Structure 1
């Protein structure tokens, strides 16, 4: 099953991962980590489509976990070292930044959870409940990340989202009919 998923679905998985990270190499690493996580155990899948769904979920989980880990490591370096860590991204990363499309650049400015929520909801077309389940968040948290993420994307891109794409919370107003 692993060979079939890797052979038939790998390009699509990498394309999805590229919505989360800045380079193809990072996307390929993310997919590889997800494949190892999913197929490294005793998981059994009935179809390649079912296996692919697990790999997609693992990609998002690995992305959020990796970003969290990186932020904790950076904060520790800043605390212990007493200086702000300077990251030289190198000429390849700077060139990728210059060549990245406006949407990719706008997505890169979102927080990891906002980005994961926006991609799962609007690219993967998962429901709010499904997005919450994949990321291990409450539906309310997903709605908040989606709202903030879509607003940030609109501001960065100079666009407006259709009214129905922004989560609307139900009214808490109590009516008393006499």
Structure 2
């Protein structure tokens, strides 16, 4: 086994779960997320030597993941968004609160425009800076800021049950 292949396999072992999480947050579906990661890694594998030589394989793979996702949603026809979730006004005891928030966040992210969703996922789940997000999305820092602003504003409208969470994170 050559050094490039070993290096790539070690990278996939170390970063695979994180890439799967990012892909899930972009797609909203576990199966699509697995396909997205697999297809992205197949594309990256052929360029691995150059990716490693450039110095930051994480940034390259994140960008490739995002661009692969963009290719998918451009091909798909526009789907009708889901109806807003019915939220129970009564507080849920124990760990169910965390599950409810997770489900609400996933549903809300699924109703955002793809670029807004990507910006929010990269900022709040991958903890990237505006410059890193801009590099990943292939746009300017100002565009990232406007996508984040507009995405958070849309989340406030689409998922009012998450307003407290948004205020903490903003």
What are the ranges of 5 or more consecutive residues in structure 2 without an aligned counterpart? 1-6, 81-101
- Kindly indicate whether the alpha-carbon contact (under 8 Å) linking 1:64 and 1:116 is maintained by their aligned counterparts in 2: no
Counterpart of 1:30 in structure 2 is 36
- The DSSP-based 3-state class of the residue aligned with 1:103 is helix
Q: Confirm or deny that 1:43 pairs with 2:50.
A: yes
Using the size of structure 1 for normalisation, the TM-score is 0.67
Select the structure with the greater relative contact order (CA < 8 A; seq sep ≥ 6). 2
Counterpart of 1:124 in structure 2 is 126
Distance 2:35 2:169 in 1: 35
Distance 1:9 1:110 in 2: 26
Distance 2:17 2:122 in 1: 18
**Larger proportion of helix:** 2
Counterpart of 2:167 in structure 1 is 162
Distance 1:20 1:7 in 2: 21
- The DSSP-based 3-state class of the residue aligned with 1:19 is helix
Alignment of 1:1-178 (within 5 A): 1-41=7-47, 42-45=49-52, 50-70=56-76, 74=77, 101-158=103-160, 159-160=163-164, 161-162=166-167, 165=170
- The DSSP-based 3-state class of the residue aligned with 1:125 is coil
Shift of 1:162: 3.2
- Kindly indicate whether the alpha-carbon contact (under 8 Å) linking 1:5 and 1:52 is maintained by their aligned counterparts in 2: no
- The DSSP-based 3-state class of the residue aligned with 1:6 is helix
